[in-house]
A and B are shown apart, each in its own frame.
Chain A
Amino acid sequence: MQTRRQFVVRGTKLVAIGAAAAAAGPTILVRDARADGQLRILQWSHFVPAYDKWFDPWAKEWGAKRGVNVTVDHVGFADVVPRATAEVAAQSGHDVHMFLGLASAFEEHVIDLKDAVATLEKKYGKEVDLAHRSTYNPFTRKQFALSDMWVPDPGNYHKEVWSKIGMENGPSTYDDLVKAAPEIKKVAPQMQIPIGVGLSQDIDSNMAVRNILWCHGGSIQDKDGNVVLNSPETLRALEYTKKLYSVGMTQAVLSWNAASNNQAFNAQETAYILNSISAYRTAQDNKLPVLANYFFTPALKGPTGIQLASEHVMSGYVVWKFSKSQDLAKEFLVALVDASRDSMLASKLYNFPSFYGAAAEPNTPLNKKQESGAAWIAAQCNKDPFGSTPPDKLALLAKSLPWSTNLGYPGFANPAEGEIFDTYVLTDMFAKASTGALSPKDAMAEASTRAKQIFDKWRQKKMVPGGGKDK
């Protein structure tokens, strides 16, 4: 008879053999991802699938010329930050990680890319200011990320509906939205949400509420990094949004995700959204009925006369400190900026180069490169190669730089601004004030306290300036 010890030993052996066989089999079947001399890149699945089809082989080819195996992995845009958090916690993963908004929250975990940016500036001149302000921390003097592209965030409006209420060119001020909303309900009752500005915990809402705040004269921080959210300007922005919510929105906007405004506009359930051209390209690709009435406006003006919109996407490539291919990663990022023209075309004009000079005609002198690049960009927008009707429908995008700004305006992006963005402090404030969950004053006080706590945390780490003039 078998003893209990024999039974346990025999059983354990069997399980161990089974587990080892099961584990080893698939390892043999899948590719070996552990070879030396490789560069691993993680980025979002680009809104335009054709972009990924251009980028992935391009990156591989770039590596092949150097005898390096480049692998590109894609995640959904909502998984970009969680994935970064996980890789930092594990201190392993990819070499290069692309962020869509602020990479600043990860500043302490990434290497300084100052030399890569300096190389690019020598080749192409300065990058656009909002890219510089999104990727450089003047307090720590660290170039924590490198931006190859940014995406403008115009207003998208339904021309037929706005024409019916006497505004055929769409709104031009925030006040127009409040005036138009009841009129739109009358002429287009099928539009359940006349003004489709999200107030939820999603990336588009995060941008939209900042636009409203800035155009009313408010901001989270001043240019020196002091927290100034608690201000009459913020209060005015909250009271404005509360009014807009009551006349032009429904509770649906409180639970919108990043795709909701696209879908609402394409389904002709709203007459105005703040978005890049992604919804428009979707309408084009699927020949949706909304297409004939799909038009764009620049950023809206606030009562202060300020006309600003946040970038819709700001690429921020970082190289992790734990990467063993840091120099290679820098070389790759420089090459990516070199390919700015291809990048813009592969993305169907979604990506705008952060270094305008990289889109210049060949052999242009350095001091003329930015101008030449801007002219090439304008030429694409003025005659959309991807079939807009009229062909200059996207022309205003070429002039979007003056009214586009960075997260963190009027200061630079910093880890505190990044954390406030990632934890939706502003969208919560606007939603609470708009729905009456809190009075505008209380919502502002609550958000201001949260913002100060976040800033204080990062100031203790000596990564964020200011503090002496917090309000």
Chain B
Amino acid sequence: MVGELTWSRRLVGLWLPLTLLFVFALFPFAWMAATSLKANAELYDPKANPLWIRNPSLVHYIDLFKETNFVTWIGNTMLVATVSTVISLALGVMLAYPLARMRFPAAGLLAIAVAVTYLVPQTLLFVPMADLINRMKLGDTLTAVMLTYPTLLVPFCAWLLIGYFKTVPKELEEAALIDGASRWRAMTRVILPLCTPGFLSAGIFAFTLAQNEFLYALLFLNTSTIRTVPVGVTGELIRGDAFYWGQLMAAAFLGSLPVVLIYSFFVKYYVAGLTAGSVKG
């Protein structure tokens, strides 16, 4: 049984470490936000405190929206990340469900193969991938990345969902089957609703990975209006040896907001998904 903590113990054992962790975790974001709100003259002033803004200015945000295709990049990124995540989750369920809940030869081997697929580095995969995309004449379209991202995301989603599906008691499914439900109905009406936290955690991870992906986006997306945020920002705000730090930080700050919001809204399910099975005997 945990005893009552005194004020000083609570301070040292809880609040102080929590504060340190809070500062450590938020420091990059604070610096990023501060940099995005400083005019260039202040940015280049070595006497200025990097985290303190003397004359707040939205000039970098205005330039970002006026001088670049940032809004389009955000839209493209959201579209690509959403479609890739939906495809990956759908395929991931198809892969994870039989591996977790059906008995058939070489199921274990298949499960390991899924994990191994995830380990193949992108830098090796991009060559055949580029060839395929070109053969399908999909170069320089968002479809190219929507179709290639699931190759990274499906094994990841499947692996996460296998673990989650295993935590749902088989008796529930068997009861549904005895009551006359088909396998499909048992899965969609009984098992999947119980696995919502697992879907959310897999979905959030997949979405974040798709949103931040760089290599395939760099290779397959050329036109400015078809780019995603990571490639658009680095391609157009790093010019020769001049970095447009203010706009870069503004873009990074705005680009990180969707993920922050998603994590904030679904944190409860997300944590439940991650810890699934941890207390199962």
Contacts and interface: CB of A to CB of B under 8 A. Distances in A.
Determine if chain A interacts with chain B.
yes
Interface of A: 1-2, 4, 7-8, 10-12, 14-15, 18-19, 22-24, 26-27, 29-31, 33-34, 40, 42, 44-49, 71, 73-79, 82-83, 86, 89-94, 190, 203-204, 258-259, 261-263, 266-269, 275-276, 278-279, 282, 285-290, 313
Contact of B184 (A2, A26, A287): A2
A202 to B, nearest CB: 9
Nearest to A261: B241
A74 to B, nearest CB: 6
Interface string B118-147: 000000001100110010011111110011
B4 interface: no
Interface stretch (B22-30, B157-165, B194-202, B231-239): B231-239
Interface string B203-245: 0000000000000001100111110000000111011111100
Contact of A76 (B79, B146, B238): B238
Contact of A78 (B139, B226, B238): B238
A8 B98 CA distance: 10
Secondary structure class of chain B's binding surface, majority of residues: helix
Contacts of A31: 140, 223, 225-226
Contacts of A45: 235-236, 238-240
Given A267-B45, A282-B242, A30 B139 contact: no
B45 to A, nearest CB: 7
Given A18-B90, A24-B143, A71-B223, A267 B46 contact: yes
A364 B137 CA distance: 48
A200 to B, nearest CB: 13
A19 B87 contact: yes
B81 to A, nearest CB: 12
A11 B143 CA distance: 22
B183 interface: yes
A290 B43 CA distance: 13
Nearest to B219: A86
Given A258-B240, A289-B45, 7 more contacts: A1-B182, A7-B182, A19-B87, A30-B143, A75-B218, A89-B130, A313-B240
B18 to A, nearest CB: 32
Contacts of A263: 44, 243
Contacts of A94: 222
A29 B91 CA distance: 24
Contacts of B242: 47, 259, 262, 278-279, 282
A263 B225 CA distance: 30
22 contacts: A14-B90, A19-B91, A19-B147, A26-B83, A30-B140, A31-B223, A31-B225, A40-B222, A45-B236, A47-B241, A73-B222, A74-B236, A76-B239, A79-B235, A86-B126, A89-B130, A190-B47, A258-B240, A262-B242, A263-B243, A288-B40, A288-B44
Nearest to A7: B183
Contact of B140 (A29, A33, A290): A33
Contacts of A76: 234-235, 238-239
Contacts of B3: none
A276 to B, nearest CB: 8
